């Protein structure tokens, strides 16, 4: 194998590379868990990136003009932890020793907000690759907004065979090529090994031709994984390309230089054979040393950062007086603050919705987002080929494209999974406030990205319209049933199903101002009435997750719902009053937020001892936390006009009246 350092690489840099390798080996041995081989193989690439390529300041990991680097092959996390330690980030040798241990800075897979220098949470393969596409879009967008001279960096992603096998990478790469994201450089570790064995078992496509067909510039560098100068040369070549994203293919050797495990599937996991590891350390000149970092290695990394520090200081001086940059850094804007100081009706450009007027919440969402987007540069997004259908159309926005990277409207195409992960990259990498939309039933296609958004507290607004059997004729395949319960079960995700235009406005405002993570906004296809008093109650109600719409001092029963079923509760309450049954109506736009409230707050809304009946056009799972009895749909839907499907499945005010009467009479 022609995998030896070239003669013009000095001994110190070879020692630097081998320090990364041995730290990875020692950490995995101590934890008796992890992935040694990939970190060992990719140590030269990491060394070149952190000493010759990347623009960063380890003392300010969030410097806005830093290069972004993502390790999409997150199982090789010791590669980035070792590199961050050598580069001077707040990752100590003791942190390295605590690899994969409880509450350490070095978890099994990289986690954003947890380890300084880690840009995104990469666990499931392919997510990091798509995150990088999102960051490249965001960099293009922000650069055009504030000037390319102030935002002149690139996005780098190191990916594996597994990343490129996952379907999300096809979606993301296709969109990146279409938009000519020349600031994106992907380095593909083509080591031809997976857990099951050689990639020949499952993966025989021509990756080079695949990416070329998707509009990428491809550099097939071959056997250069130990040649530092050659690695630097191909990356510089990629940086000079201005017409397309670049994929650099490098044939590495997993587990190198382990005598017994190089180029084997066993090297994918934890290498703990003491004799083999000792031989490997001997080859690298680290006999008998554990967690060893020589001072000259640290000094080399410090010396490599001199140019970066100078660029950082100059940039910070310029940015301090630039309002546009400061707004983007903070992710805030006076526009949203001004609107929030007014009435909820201020979010509606044409006219404030009147009680009794009918309007689909997806239509309200579009108007609200369009109003906010005027002067709010951090708001950017779109949908998966359903822009006009989902409420994600910005009225005056232009399309993001190669010729117009300042466009706020992104057309993602039919790529839900990548769309979610791309939005995560935009939010985490550049503090933007992205929104993405599709039909609610297709949230299943992007669930992995939603979950990562929740874990990483990404400020993404996931807009899901066509939220129930109200989809009608499209039938069971397009009618969400279990999706609400499923997303509500996800920790860290705020799930909001607004009942009308004002609850929709309050939900979007709350997300943009207060969110500490993602929000799923669940919207109707069909028109729903604007509710009496929601204009003045929805904002405070949104903060608690629930509020009283129809008050009764001594109710016999409480009817509660979310979304399009709230008006059914109001209609039923009127009918029940003719039967001398005093009825209170509570809207619950965000069930999870309400369940987080203390007992006093909950008892103020739901009177102790009063029976509660809930209704929702979806699974009844989860409502038992509040309701004594629930009306819902615990089966799949049917293909027919919406009103017929609602009637057939018992989602009606009549069903509420009948069930409530029985509850009260018990």
606, part of any domain: yes
Q: Are residues 520 and 381 in the same domain?
A: yes
Q: Are residues 358 and 286 in the same domain?
A: no
Q: Are residues 235 and 350 in the same domain?
A: no
Q: Contact at 8 Å (CB) between 361 and 385?
A: no
591, part of any domain: yes
What residues have CB less than 8 Å from 616, skipping those under 6 apart? 484, 561, 562, 563, 565, 623, 630, 631, 632
615, part of any domain: yes
480, part of any domain: yes
* Domain end residue (candidates: 529, 557, 575): 529
Strands 358-359 and 528-529 come out as antiparallel
Note the pLDDT of residue 341. 79
CATH number where 504 lies: 3.40.50.970
- The number of distinct structural domains making up the chain is 3
Residue 437: strand, helix, or coil: strand
* Domain end residue (candidates: 502, 529, 556): 529
287, part of any domain: yes
What residues have CB less than 8 Å from 226, skipping those under 6 apart? 3, 4, 5, 44, 256
321, part of any domain: no
What residues have CB less than 8 Å from 503, skipping those under 6 apart? 361, 534, 538, 541, 542, 587, 589
CATH number where 628 lies: 3.40.50.920
What residues have CB less than 8 Å from 328, skipping those under 6 apart? 64, 142, 145, 146, 377, 378, 430, 431, 432
Q: Are residues 235 and 353 in the same domain?
A: no
Q: Are residues 416 and 563 in the same domain?
A: no
Residues forming the active site: 416
Q: Are residues 396 and 494 in the same domain?
A: yes
State the Cα–Cα distance between residues 214 and 217, nearest whole angstrom.
9
534, part of any domain: no
Q: Contact at 8 Å (CB) between 452 and 124?
A: yes
Q: Contact at 8 Å (CB) between 64 and 327?
A: no
Q: Contact at 8 Å (CB) between 78 and 99?
A: yes
16, part of any domain: no
Note the pLDDT of residue 1. 34
Q: Are residues 295 and 333 in the same domain?
A: no
Q: Contact at 8 Å (CB) between 437 and 363?
A: no
Q: Are residues 613 and 467 in the same domain?
A: no
Q: Are residues 412 and 495 in the same domain?
A: yes
Q: Which domain holds residue 338?
A: 329-529
Q: Are residues 165 and 234 in the same domain?
A: yes
State the Cα–Cα distance between residues 642 and 475, nearest whole angstrom.
10
Q: Are residues 264 and 343 in the same domain?
A: no
State the Cα–Cα distance between residues 172 and 105, nearest whole angstrom.
29
Give the end-to-end CA distance of the chain in Å, rounded to a whole number. 82
State the Cα–Cα distance between residues 616 and 602, nearest whole angstrom.
20
* Domain end residue (candidates: 529, 563, 580): 529
- CB burial of residue 313 (10 Å; 0-12, 13-18, 19+): exposed
Residue 128: strand, helix, or coil: helix
- Could you report the average pLDDT of every consecutive run of 10 residues in the chain (666 residues)? 49 97 98 97 98 98 97 98 98 98 98 98 97 98 89 97 98 98 98 94 97 98 97 98 97 97 96 96 97 97 96 93 80 66 87 95 97 88 97 96 97 98 96 96 98 98 97 96 98 98 97 91 98 96 97 96 98 97 98 97 96 98 97 98 96 98 92
Question: With the CA atoms of 343, 344, 346 and 349 taken in that order, what torsion angle do they form, in degrees rounded to the nearest 10?
Answer: -160
Q: Are residues 221 and 107 in the same domain?
A: yes
Q: Contact at 8 Å (CB) between 502 and 640?
A: no
């Amino acid at each position: 194998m022609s995998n030896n350092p070239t003669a013009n690489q000095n001994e110190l840099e070879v020692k630097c590379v081998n320090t990364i390798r041995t730290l990875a080996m020692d950490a995995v041995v101590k934890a008796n868990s992890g992935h040694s081989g990939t970190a060992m193989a990719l140590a030269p690439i990491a060394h070149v990136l952190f000493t010759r390529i990347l623009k960063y300041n380890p003392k300010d990991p969030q410097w806005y003009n830093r290069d972004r680097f993502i390790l999409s092959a997150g199982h090789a996390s010791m590669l980035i932890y070792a590199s961050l330690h050598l580069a001077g980030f707040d990752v100590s040798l003791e942190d390295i020793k605590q690899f994969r241990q409880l509450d350490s800075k070095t978890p099994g897979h990289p986690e954003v907000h947890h380890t300084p220098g880690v840009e995104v949470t990469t666990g499931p393969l392919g997510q990091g690759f798509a995150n990088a596409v999102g960051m490249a879009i965001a960099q293009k967008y922000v650069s055009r907004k504030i000037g390319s001279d102030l935002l002149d960096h690139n996005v780098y992603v190191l990916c594996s065979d597994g990343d490129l096998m996952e379907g999300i990478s096809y979606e993301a790469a296709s969109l990146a090529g279409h938009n000519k994201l020349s600031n994106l450089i992907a380095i593909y570790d083509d080591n031809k090994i997976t857990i099951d064995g050689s990639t020949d078992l499952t993966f025989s496509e021509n990756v080079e031709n695949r990416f070329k067909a998707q509009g990428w510039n491809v550099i097939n560098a071959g056997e250069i994984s130990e040649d530092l100068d050659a690695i630097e040369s191909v990356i510089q070549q990629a940086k000079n390309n201005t017409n397309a994203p670049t994929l650099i293919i490098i044939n590495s050797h997993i587990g190198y230089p382990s005598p017994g495990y190089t180029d084997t599937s066993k090297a994918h996991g934890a290498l703990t054979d003491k004799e083999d590891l000792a031989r490997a350390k001997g080859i690298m000149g680290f006999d008998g040393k554990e967690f060893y970092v020589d001072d000259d290695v640290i000094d080399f990394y410090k010396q490599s950062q001199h140019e970066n520090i100078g660029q950082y200081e100059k940039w910070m001086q310029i940015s301090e007086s630039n309002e546009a940059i400061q707004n983007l850094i903070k992710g805030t804007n006076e526009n949203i603050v001004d609107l929030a100081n007014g009435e909820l009706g201020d979010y509606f450009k044409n006219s404030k919705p009147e009680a009794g007027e009918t309007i689909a919440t997806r239509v309200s969402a579009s108007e609200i987002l369009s109003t906010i987007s005027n002067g709010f540069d951090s708001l950017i997004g779109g949908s998966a080929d359903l822009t006009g259908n989902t409420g994600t159309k910005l009225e005056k926005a232009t399309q993001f494209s190669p010729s117009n990277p300042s466009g706020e409207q992104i057309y993602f195409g039919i790529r839900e999974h990548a769309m979610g992960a791309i939005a995560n990259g935009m939010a985490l990498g550049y503090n933007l406030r992205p929104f993405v939309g599709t039909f609610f039933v297709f949230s299943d296609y992007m669930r992995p990205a939603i979950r990562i958004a929740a874990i990483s507290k990404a400020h993404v607004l996931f807009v899901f319209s066509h939220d129930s059997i109200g989809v009608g004729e499209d039938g069971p395949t397009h009618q969400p049933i279990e999706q609400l319960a499923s997303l509500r079960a996800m920790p860290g995700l705020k799930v909001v199903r607004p009942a009308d235009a004002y609850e929709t406005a309050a939900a979007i405002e709350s997300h943009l101002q207060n969110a500490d993570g993602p929000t799923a906004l669940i919207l109707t296809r069909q028109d729903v009435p604007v509710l009496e008093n929601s204009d003045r109650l929805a904002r405070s109600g949104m903060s608690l997750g629930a509020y009283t719409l129809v008050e009764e001092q001594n109710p016999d029963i409480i009817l509660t719902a979310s979304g399009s079923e709230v008006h059914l509760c109001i209609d039923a309450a009127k009918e029940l009053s003719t039967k001398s049954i005093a009825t209170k109506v509570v809207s619950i736009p965000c069930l999870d937020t309400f369940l987080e409230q203390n007992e006093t707050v909950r008892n103020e809304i739901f009177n102790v001892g009063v029976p509660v009946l809930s209704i929702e056009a979806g699974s009844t799972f989860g409502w038992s936390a509040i309701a004594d009895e629930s009306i819902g749909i615990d089966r799949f839907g049917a293909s027919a006009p919406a009103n017929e499907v609602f009637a057939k499945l018992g989602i009606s005010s009549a069903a509420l009246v009948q069930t409530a009467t029985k509850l009260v009479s018990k």
